[in-house]
Amino acid sequence: METITDDKDARWRIIATDLRAAILDGRYPPGGALPSEPELVRKYDVSRPTVRKAIDTLVSEGLAYVMRGRGSFVRPIPERRTILITDRDRPDLAALGNHPDVQAFGWDLAQRDHDVPFFTGEKTTANRDIAIMLSVRPGHPVIHRRSLWHRGHTAAIHGASARLEINSYTNADMLPDWDDPKRHAQYRKRPALFYQSLSRDHGPVRWMTLTTARIAYEDERTTLGMDYAEAVLIIRRTMAHPSGNPIEVTEVKAPANRYEIGYHRELADEPEVDLTPQELSDNGIELAI
């Protein structure tokens, strides 16, 4: 039996360190089982709670997952797909309706899920985060458009599905005809009209794109079909005045372990030319923003 240290609080750290190194070295392959609790208890001469704390650490790091009644396993490595940051024509990803920008990349609008509509477009008020994005005061009127995209199949890994959440926030002062029923109907039927109106009335415009990642909130995990240990990738593209004052912000949320960022000018053989459907497929690109 292996004796490690008298510091009881440090024992779970040593177990986690040993298992982590074995996973990263390939001694426990993706999808493979980790040693059982009784095995680890005997090997390290520790209690079951100590072993569980070590396993929980690996789970929180995204290296392992637990199946009740079966044991602990190394998390499979999902195939990463690319979201392209482009300086070409920016599609209005949150446009209401099943528009060509969705279908061009093989996506469909997700079906109604958990009583949440697959797309919405409404005037609401800015909370703190939206107010910061749009440089307005909390409570200021904003137009919120939201779409859920999916690929129509469910991945084998933990029931996770291929999904993206698209949110668009616009300072309502920038689009005063949103409340006109006839004009609102046109925005629903003509996907390009929303951006055309903003660019015409407030242009010329500039674009700024930032990316970040954080641990997903519970509602995001539910919406995107993510495990609780996964991080969410957030791509935030801002349409702004030349001065930098925001007009509209589009935010794309995706599982961070299944998507990565690419740049049009670096991936394209001819940076001034749009990628062809074949080039998009060859580079594993599933969205351009």
pLDDT 10s digits, 172-197: 999 999 999 998 888 888 888 999 99
Per-residue DSSP letter, 92: -
Longest distance between any two alpha carbons in the chain, whole Å: 78
| Tokens coding 147 | 């779409």
- Select the more confidently predicted residue: 10 or 281: 10
How much is the pLDDT for 171? Answer: 95
The rounded Cα 112 to chain-centroid distance in angstroms is: 19
In the structure, what pLDDT confidence band is assigned to residue 101 with cuts at 50, 70 and 90?
low
Distance (Å, whole) CA 19 – CA 17: 6
Q: Which residue has the tokens 């961070």?
A: 256
Distance (Å, whole) CA 22 – CA 208: 42
In the structure, what pLDDT confidence band is assigned to residue 258 with cuts at 50, 70 and 90?
confident
Most confident of 51-55, 104-108, 147-151: 51-55
What is the percentage of the chain residues whose pLDDT exceeds 70?
Answer: 84
How much is the pLDDT for 36? Answer: 93
Please determine, for residue 18, whether its predicted confidence score (pLDDT) is greater than 90.
yes
Distance (Å, whole) CA 34 – CA 87: 46
List phi, psi (to 5°) of 54: -65, -45
How much is the pLDDT for 67? Answer: 86
- Select the more confidently predicted residue: 238 or 90: 238
Global pTM value: 0.74
In the structure, what pLDDT confidence band is assigned to residue 107 with cuts at 50, 70 and 90?
confident
What is the mean pLDDT of the segment spanning 230-254?
93
Distance (Å, whole) CA 167 – CA 116: 14
Q: What is the pLDDT of residues 152-171, one digit of tens each?
A: 543 433 334 578 899 999 99
The rounded Cα 166 to chain-centroid distance in angstroms is: 9
- Tell me what the pLDDT averaged over the chain comes to: 83
* Residue 33: strand pairing partners: 73
Contact 9, 57 (CB under 8 A): no
Contact 121, 188 (CB under 8 A): yes
Please determine, for residue 274, whether its predicted confidence score (pLDDT) is greater than 70.
yes
| Tokens coding 57 | 């650490």
How much is the pLDDT for 76? Answer: 79
